[in-house]
Structure 1
Amino acid sequence: MKGGRNLNNQNIREELLRKIENFDVEFIHLQFTDIMGIMKNVSITVEQLDKALDNRIMFDGSSIDGFVRIEESDMYLVPDLTTFIVFPWTNLHKEARLICDIYNMDGTPFEGCPRNTLKRVIRESEKMGYRLKVGPECEFFLFNTDEKGNPSLETHDDAGYFDLAPIDLGGNARNDMTIALKEMGFKIETSHHEAAPGQHEIDFEYDDALITADNIMTFKMVVRTIAQRNGLHATFMPKPKFGVNGSGMHLNMSLSTLENKNVFYDKNNYLQLSEIAYYFLGGLIEHARAYTALTNPTVNSYKRLVPGYEAPVLIAWSANNRSPLIRIPAERGMGTRIELRSPDPSANPYLALAATLKAGLDGIKNKIKPPEQVTSNAYEMESDEVRERGIKKLPTNLYEAIKELSKNEVIKSSLGEHVYKKFTNAALYEWNEYSKYVSLWEIDRYLKKF
């Protein structure tokens, strides 16, 4: 049974065993992600490590949402040895983790494992000669907790974009997060307060798509853990408060050759973008309404994608401003990239990257040309101009996004039949529950009126 990156490399295994001995690790968490992007965990003692490294740790897949039925429940955890990390916040009893792929009893990769889903699309990309590099911009909120430790909606500060302490009272917590992430091997680029009170962003370095997806899951775990240790609650909910900006997870994407040459860069083009870059951009534009179900997978996601709060609404692109769905950052050469601005941090990163990579690859395969770029502020464009230019809008709610996904065979194929069915069933269940719920807004608006 195979899994992970270079899993059979004996040198990696020996190095891992040395680290465990040197750090005196006692517990190891075998982590994996369910279809909706929630991290799961099976913990073992160090005495069970050999069993784990030989891929003999089993779990009940029927207990995980979106996995399998009870009559086919036994599944294997196959650890990727390159993902070994020691948690820096554990002292008395050192703990570490390994990220795992899910395998069937017959030794084949489980098609419902989101990590396996992304790896399958990555293999398709590599057969075309391309490797996807991704740099995420993960935003989150920090809220005060009550005397029982439950989260409130009270922010710990009234700071704004790039503000410093003492206005930014979350600075200490954010510094602790940054230090913990660095100790775990992250290369942190920037850390700052975002636009809304209590909102923050920590950016880490570009990497291959699979590593980045792993890092996003690890990042969210670290942020929430360190926030709790600072008496705060961290949330990656896209829009926790009305009237302020929501939290996004912009994806900076580029393709390189297998020899690590950026194929989006062409110094002879007007914008110094290659033909491959334009086709990839065309694919992202063409399939945007369908993959939005994966990049924005909750009812709450669409409370962020509204006019007036710096989130994209129009499916357009620009090399000059940040208002459309996609912008082209100014850096060129190896830094040439496309920034997709719609995703939010509630997304399952494995599925979001699988879907957006598939969209871009389809653009390359079918030579899909992007429309003319939008040079004016997309937030201020009149409806008549939008219609005249044929510019489409992102879905306005989860149900609309799921319907768009159901009509798009390209994005559905990126997921596979199992993940597509389980994901859409879960999303539609959430939509139906939301549709039945009577909100405080309705009470305030209608109780006295009718």
Structure 2
Amino acid sequence: MSNNEVVMDPKIKQAETVEELIRRLEKDDVKFVRLTYSDIHGYPRGKDIPLEFFKSVVEDGQTFCVANLVDGLAGNPLNAPGMAPDRGYPDMRGIPDLSTVVTVPWEPHTVQCLVDLYDDNGDIIDISPRQFLKRAVDLFEKEWQLKTVFAHELEFYLLKKTGDGWERYSNHSSMVYTVGHRSDELGMMHKFLSAGKVLNLGLTAANHEFGAGQFEVNMLHGEAVESSDRAFRFKNMVKEVAACQGLHATFMGKPFNHDAGSGFHIHISLNNDNGNAFYGPNESDGLSRLSKQFLAGILHHAPALMAFLAPTVNAYKRLVPDSLVPLSASWGYDNRTAFVRIPADRRSGSRLEIRAGDASANPYLISAVCLLAGYDGIVRQLEPPIPVSGDVSLEDNLLTCLPKSLEESISNLLQDERLCELIGEPMVNAFTAMKRVEAERFRRYVTDWEFNEYVYHL
């Protein structure tokens, strides 16, 4: 990770008032402001606002229904105690964060702005993913004056429409880390990198991955909220730019039975006034005691963290042996089969890479819960187990195995009282209730596999 920073468009960052910002946007022929926020799935919600109404939105907020934060992916409202239907579907207000205003390159005359969510009393919405992450970040800044630093890596598949549905964008056999027209016929990676530059997403590299039609993009590191904002916007950008080309991008963890799954790797470090607090120049491995405590917290809570890292029924189809996906709560030096990999970089680049994330995960939520687990490791001065070596992406009873289903992960989360206390009751209740509904809907659904396996013989 370099020391470069991603900054907003200087014309926008230097605006002293909303009036000045609006005048500058008018000069650039902007006519619409796209307000967006993340629901618990990580899906973008929002509204398009004519620029002439933006000033009143900045002052008074834009109303949304709070129920949209916990809608199921089938559009089913979450009927659970304390949730929106139980309270008559009340409003929440989105207050624009003007530091996040950026041009939308695929929409003429449009800028995008993230909003923070509050209730009518001016209190934050506890289950707002962005606000939840800000609360986790505050623990480190207020208690220890530590800055939380993240970088995100995401994998995804590109699909094209056929008469019967969707198929891979490219079926050409291609090795990982290949580039060019043989693996990317329409030059989509350059389109993504170009759009990312306009959006200030800090995209540093793009390449073909293991699966046919599968790609990976790396992102520059930054402060936790800002970095997660970019990851959230990145997923939406990929989908939108792909749609403009008649394609579909999916961050589903395991869309194909006989091909690689898509992961979401997150790199974490903490900075103090002296630089990277994970660097231990006097330690034999170059890692500070603080980094080891943080690491120990991650591993201690790993089975519970999986509810957020692998938040769908499908995500557990990706957790299979011999696939560079961890199956146990392990760590190792530059070992891509472990739950936590310690890259070889030291000094300013000292960091942990958490490799168990599914591409479908919410950037805000996984960043927040990993911070809270690491926080607990520091507070309790936990010690990590011995590092592993070799390929540990196999079943191993000597290691703490990870859950094998969404239901099992939810159970592990609810049994982890310390992590639930740190996460907070509102988020735990909303997330687990929503995911239990999802798991139950799948339990009742007759799959193609069941039909093909049983209908003829039984």
TM-score by length of 1: 0.92
- Deviation for aligned residue 1:353: 1.1
1:62 deviation in Å?
A: 3.6
1:16 aligns with 2:32: no
Gaps of 5+ in 2: 1-7, 72-77
Measure the CA separation in 2 of the matches of 1:204 and 1:364: 27
Q: Does 1:357 align with 2:360?
A: no
Aligned partner (choices 242, 245, 249) of residue 230 of structure 1: 245
Q: Which residue of 1 aligns with 2:425?
A: 417
The 8 Å contact of residues 165 and 171 in structure 1, kept in 2 or not, is answered as no
Shift of 1:223: 0.3
Per the alignment, residue 74 of structure 1 pairs with: 91
Work out whether residues 97 and 113 of structure 2, in 8 Å CA contact, stay in contact via their aligned partners in 1.
yes
- Tell whether the 8 Å contact from 1:289 to 1:405 is kept in structure 2 after alignment: yes
1:26 to 27, 31, 37: 31
TM, length-normalised to structure 2:
0.90
1:166 to 181, 193, 213: 181
Partner residue of 1:426?
A: 434
Alignment of 1:299-378 (within 5 A): 299-378=313-392
Q: Does 1:396 align with 2:407?
A: no
How many Å apart are 1:48 and its aligned residue?
A: 0.4
Query: 1:15 deviation in Å?
Result: 5.7
Equivalent runs, 1:53-202 vs 2, <5 Å: 53-64=58-69, 65=71, 68-69=84-85, 70-71=87-88, 73-91=90-108, 94-127=109-142, 128-146=144-162, 152-158=166-172, 159-170=174-185, 172-202=187-217
CA contact (8 A) 2:22 2:51 kept: no
Q: Answer whether contact 2:290 2:378 (CA < 8 A) is retained.
A: yes
CA positional deviation for 1:132: 1.3
Q: Could you tell me whether the CA contact under 8 Å between 2:204 and 2:220 is conserved in 1? A: yes
| CA apart distance, 1:35 | 1.8
Q: CA deviation at 1:57?
A: 2.1
- DSSP 3-state at the match of 2:207: strand
* 1:37 and 2:42 are equivalent in the alignment: yes
Within a 5 Å distance, the mapping from 1:170-319 to structure 2 comes to 170=185, 172-257=187-272, 259=273, 261-319=275-333
Contact residue 12 and residue 81 of structure 1 kept, 8 A: no
1:34-71 Cα shifts (integer Å, max 9, x gaps):
12222101111011011111133222324552662353
Q: Distance in 2 between matches of 1:59 and 1:204?
A: 31
- Using the TM superposition, give the Cα deviation of residue 283 of structure 1 relative to its aligned residue in structure 2, in angstroms: 0.3
Letter in 1 for 2:400: K
Contact 2:168 2:212 in 1 (8 A): no
Q: Deviations over 1:125-169 (max 9, x none)?
A: 11222221111111100011136xx85033423223122333213
Does the aligned pair in 1 maintain the 2:302–2:402 contact within 8 Å?
yes
Looking at structure 2, the residues matched to 426 and 269 of structure 1 have their Cα atoms a distance apart, in angstroms, of 44
Deviates more, 1:399-408 or 1:54-63: 54-63
- Where does structure 1 lack aligned partners over 5 or more consecutive residues? none
Other structure's SS at 1:378 match: coil
Aligned residues of 2:341 and 2:353 also touching (Cα < 8 A)? yes
Instruction: Report the aligned-residue RMSD.
Output: 2.1
Identity %: 32
Give 3-state SS (helix, strand or coil) of 2:60's partner. coil
Count of aligned pairs between the two proteins: 434
Q: Secondary structure at the match of 2:348?
A: helix
Cα distance change of structure 1 residues 166 and 113 upon mapping to structure 2, 3 Å threshold: closer
Between 72-81 and 53-62, the greater mean CA deviation after superposition: 53-62
Report Cα offsets for 1:326-374 as digits up to 9, x if no partner. Answer: 1100111111110000012211111111111000010011011000000
SS of the residue 2:345 aligns to? coil
8 Å contact from structure 1 (residues 244, 309) kept in 2: no
Post-superposition shift, 1:214?
0.9
Q: Which amino acid aligns with 2:84?
A: V
* 1:48 and 2:56 are equivalent in the alignment: no
> Is residue 15–residue 21 contact of structure 2 (8 Å, CA) maintained in 1?
no
